[in-house]
């Protein structure tokens, strides 16, 4: 007889519908508003659930290829078994990608079903469950939990290989049937990293493959980094448990850490030098704030009180040539300073509540701000009659119930005299959510024209405008696998891009004819803006989900970072032409 633990938690069911494909995908559990998760103790840690997919109200069977499960926002995985329909529901089974999630205080997963470019989502959460299970505990020499290994900078060359040794202990607490932990293999994928299993505390060698590891027994692993280039390399030490479960330890080679410098530092003179009258001496410094004057002072040191004389002022430079005065002293001093109060931030009051989005014109002397209540203001940032920015134009979009029924999410300049604002609106009578774009012109206080966009973009959270102002696109919140490109001339649909996974960020290159799109499966796509086709997909080096993309000023490097909840401080810089990190 199978033994099951059943967890039930009231959850939110999200149904997404799409007008272009005329399809509505609805994912639900066997009980409305609840999700049953089965944990079979005899086959732990297999997870099982019953789901149902309906398309336009018709129950439709799905396969494993249609399902992606995202756990705590990490890598997407697919079920290893999806049974046929049984009373309208399908029984699915999967292994969690990272067993460490079982020991977190909060475990959240999102089940995403995609079909014909449309997406449906069931969001499920399990709080404070399964604290005791078999897993691999990896520690450093100080017995601290190890989730990543760093080698720093290692020069390529024969013999430049650096091993690191870690101590791994199979752990299990409560399940009586788990006398041993089955491990199929321990691997890396990049040739620059390789693994040696150097024995156990009670044994000279590891057991043969696959390994039956004894709980609470210690084993040693040696991971070696041997670079063949200066490129930054990332890999994972992957522990493959029986049945498909995986555990990952991140490996970083040639990883550079930059310390943020915020303190103005005098570099030279460094003290102790002897100068002669009329000698020209370079005074240099570092970490100054750009566009704020650096003041240079000299003190003769011949009186008891400090008497500083200003000898120079420089803006935008990191050095100053000083002519030594004809004064004899052995107590002379040099100091530098910046008055940051001259460049302090200033608060600007915008009518209409909290600001949802802000955009600047091409030369940066004007800005547009859109508020929660649908008020848009144009600001002159550098008025000739004042040093305080002031409003020079105001528009109102929506109706009197705007703040309740609608949500603005984007505004930008299209030409120097015309602007575009985007917002969603819930029809009061029907509750149907729609998305609109409003054209604004100088000299008017209401939109010149309002255009309804496709229903796919009703979850809009970010407006993206091409550098030439000819096209716009919308990044949607939630799960939307399509990306629509609109012409700014009449907001007609110019291109519709369909991906295998929901789009989470989109950014245009200001210099080169391409753009970047990040999807929820962790991939980063380079899009040609000539014909809006995918020119390449960037290797994310098995990293976590990137959620913020950016280009360097010359358009040749891209960067991507990670959500705050990962607790990571890494930022990857990728050379698009060389295809290296």
Count other C-beta atoms under 10 Å from residue 414's C-beta: 16
pLDDT digits (tens, 9 = 90+) for 232-247: 888 888 887 765 667 7
The dihedral over CA atoms of 323, 325, 330, 336, expressed in degrees to the nearest 10, equals -50
* pLDDT of residue 368 exceeding 70: yes
pLDDT at 284: 93
Region(s) of the chain under CATH 2.60.40.3170: 135-253
* pLDDT of residue 105 exceeding 50: no
- Residue 164: C-alpha distances to residues 12, 97, 236, 256 (Å): 45, 25, 14, 18
At 165, list the tokens: 């040794």
At 219, list the tokens: 């084993």
Residue 473 makes CB contacts below 8 A (sequence gap 6+) with 463, 464, 483, 484, 485, 486, 506
pLDDT at 416: 87
At 501, list the tokens: 């996974």
Token pair 């410098």 is found at 261
pLDDT at 410: 92
More confident residue, 573 or 19: 573
Q: Which residues on adjacent β-strands are paired with residue 526?
A: 516, 536
Over its C-alpha atoms, the chain yields an Rg (Å, rounded) of 30
pLDDT digits (tens, 9 = 90+) for 398-414: 654 444 567 888 999 99
Measured CA to CA, the distance from residue 381 to residue 243 in angstroms comes to 62
At 178, list the tokens: 């788990």
Sign of CA dihedral 289, 360, 548, 370: positive
Token pair 């041993």 is found at 180
Measured CA to CA, the distance from residue 243 to residue 153 in angstroms comes to 37
At 275, list the tokens: 């100068």
pLDDT at 32: 46
pLDDT at 464: 94
pLDDT at 43: 56
pLDDT digits (tens, 9 = 90+) for 469-483: 999 999 987 667 889
More confident residue, 337 or 567: 337
pLDDT at 345: 63
pLDDT at 20: 31
pLDDT at 201: 57
Three-state SS string across 392-449, please? EEEEECCCCCHHHHEEEEEEEEEECCEEEEEEEEECCCCCCEEEEEEEEECCCCCCCE
Percent of the chain topping pLDDT 70? 68
At 1, list the tokens: 């007889």
Residue 465 makes CB contacts below 8 A (sequence gap 6+) with 412, 414, 420, 471, 472, 488, 508
Residue 89 · residue 36 · CB < 8 Å: no
At 278, list the tokens: 């009329």
Region(s) of the chain under CATH 2.130.10.10: 355-498
What DSSP state is assigned to residue 484? E
* pLDDT of residue 389 exceeding 70: yes
CATH topology of domain 4-127: Immunoglobulin-like (2.60.40)
Count other C-beta atoms under 10 Å from residue 495's C-beta: 16
Q: What is the DSSP string of 27-58?
A: EEESBTTEEEEEEEGGGTT-EEEEEEEEETTE
pLDDT at 204: 56
Measured CA to CA, the distance from residue 546 to residue 523 in angstroms comes to 8
pLDDT level of residue 128 (50, 70, 90 thresholds): very low
Measured CA to CA, the distance from residue 37 to residue 5 in angstroms comes to 8
The reply to whether CATH 2.60.40 applies to domain 265-342 is yes
pLDDT digits (tens, 9 = 90+) for 286-335: 877 767 889 999 987 766 556 788 999 998 888 999 999 888 888 888 99
pLDDT at 343: 57
**What's the average model confidence in pLDDT over 378-392?**
85
Residue 401 makes CB contacts below 8 A (sequence gap 6+) with 428
More confident residue, 25 or 20: 25
Q: What are 513-516's contacts with CB under 8 Å, separation 24+?
A: 514/576, 516/549, 516/551, 516/558
pLDDT at 292: 80
CATH of 355-498, one of 2.130.10.10, 3.40.50.720, 1.10.150.120, 3.40.50.2300: 2.130.10.10
Measured CA to CA, the distance from residue 519 to residue 502 in angstroms comes to 5
CATH topology of domain 135-253: Immunoglobulin-like (2.60.40)
Q: Which of 132-141, 246-255, 325-334, 551-560 has the lowest mean pLDDT?
A: 132-141
Peptide bond into 294 cis (omega under 30): no
128 alpha carbon, distance to own chain's centre:
26
Peptide bond into 15 cis (omega under 30): no
187 backbone dihedrals φ, ψ, rounded to 5°: -135, 165
Residue count of the chain, please give it.
581
Residue 170 · residue 226 · CB < 8 Å: no
Q: What angle do CA 374, 363, 295 make, to 5 degrees?
A: 115
pLDDT digits (tens, 9 = 90+) for 135-162: 566 776 565 667 788 888 888 876 678 8
Average pLDDT of the chain is 76
521 alpha carbon, distance to own chain's centre:
12
pLDDT digits (tens, 9 = 90+) for 181-210: 677 788 898 889 988 877 665 555 666 667
Residue 463 makes CB contacts below 8 A (sequence gap 6+) with 357, 409, 410, 411, 412, 420, 422, 472, 473, 474
* pLDDT of residue 556 exceeding 50: yes
Smallest Cα–Cα separation from 335: which of 355, 317, 320?
320
């Amino acid at each position: 007889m199978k033994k099951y633990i059943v967890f039930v938690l009231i959850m939110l069911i999200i149904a997404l519908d799409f007008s272009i494909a005329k399809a509505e995908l609805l994912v639900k559990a066997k009980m409305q508003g609840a999700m049953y998760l089965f944990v079979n103790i005899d086959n732990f840690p297999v997870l099982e659930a019953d789901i149902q997919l309906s398309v336009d109200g018709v129950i439709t069977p799905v396969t494993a290829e249609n399902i992606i499960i995202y756990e705590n926002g990490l890598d997407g995985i697919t079920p290893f078994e999806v049974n046929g329909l049984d009373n309208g529901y399908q029984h699915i089974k999967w292994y969690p990608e990272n067993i460490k999630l079982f020991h977190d205080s909060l475990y959240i997963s999102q089940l995403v079903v995609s079909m014909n470019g449309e997406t449906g989502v069931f969001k499920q959460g399990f709080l404070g469950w399964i604290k005791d299970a078999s897993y691999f505990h990896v520690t450093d020499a100080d017995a601290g939990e190890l989730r990543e290994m760093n080698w720093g900078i290692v020069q390529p060359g024969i013999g430049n290989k650096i091993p690191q040794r870690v101590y791994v202990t199979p752990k299990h607490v409560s399940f009586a049937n788990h006398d041993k932990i089955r491990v199929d293999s321990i691997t890396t994928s990049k040739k620059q990293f390789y693994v040696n299993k150097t024995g156990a505390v009670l044994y000279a060698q590891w057991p043969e493959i696959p390994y039956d590891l004894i709980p609470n027994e210690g084993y040693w692993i040696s991971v070696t980094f041997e670079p063949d280039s200066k490129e930054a390399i990332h890999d994972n030490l992957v522990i493959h448990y029986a049945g498909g479960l995986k555990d990952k330890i991140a490996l970083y080679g040639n990883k550079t850490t930059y310390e943020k410098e915020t303190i103005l530092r005098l570099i030279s003179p460094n003290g102790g030098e002897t100068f002669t009258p009329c000698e020209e001496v370079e005074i240099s410094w570092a970490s100054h704030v750009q566009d704020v004057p650096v003041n240079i002072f000299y003190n003769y040191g011949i009186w008891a009180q400090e008497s500083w004389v200003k000898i120079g002022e420089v803006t935008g430079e990191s050095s100053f040539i000083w002519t030594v005065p004809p004064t004899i002293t052995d107590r002379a001093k040099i100091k530098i300073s910046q008055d940051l109060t001259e460049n302090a931030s200033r608060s600007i009051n915008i009518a209409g509540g909290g600001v949802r989005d802000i955009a600047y014109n091409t030369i940066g002397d004007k800005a547009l701000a859109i508020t929660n209540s649908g008020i848009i203001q144009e600001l002159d940032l550098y008025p000739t009659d004042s040093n305080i920015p002031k409003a020079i134009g105001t528009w109102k979009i929506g109706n009197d119930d705007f703040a309740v029924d609608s949500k603005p999410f984007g505004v930008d300049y299209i030409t120097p005299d015309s602007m575009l604002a985007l917002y969603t609106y819930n029809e009061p009578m029907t509750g149907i959510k729609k998305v609109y774009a409003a054209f604004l012109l100088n000299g008017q206080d209401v939109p010149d024209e309002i255009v309804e966009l496709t229903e796919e973009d009703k979850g809009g959270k970010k407006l993206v405008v091409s550098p030439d102002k000819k096209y716009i696109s919308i990044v949607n919140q939630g799960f939307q696998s399509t990306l629509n490109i609109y012409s700014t001339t009449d907001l007609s649909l110019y291109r519709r891009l369909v991906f295998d996974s929901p789009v989470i960020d989109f950014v245009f290159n200001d210099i080169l004819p391409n753009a970047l799109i990040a999807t929820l499966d962790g991939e980063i796509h380079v899009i040609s803006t000539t014909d809006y086709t995918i020119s390449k997909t960037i290797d994310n080096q098995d990293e976590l989900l990137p959620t913020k993309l950016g280009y360097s000023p010359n358009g040749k490097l891209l960067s991507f970072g990670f959500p705050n909840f990962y607790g990571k401080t890494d930022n990857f810089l990728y050379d698009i032409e060389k295809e290296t990190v």
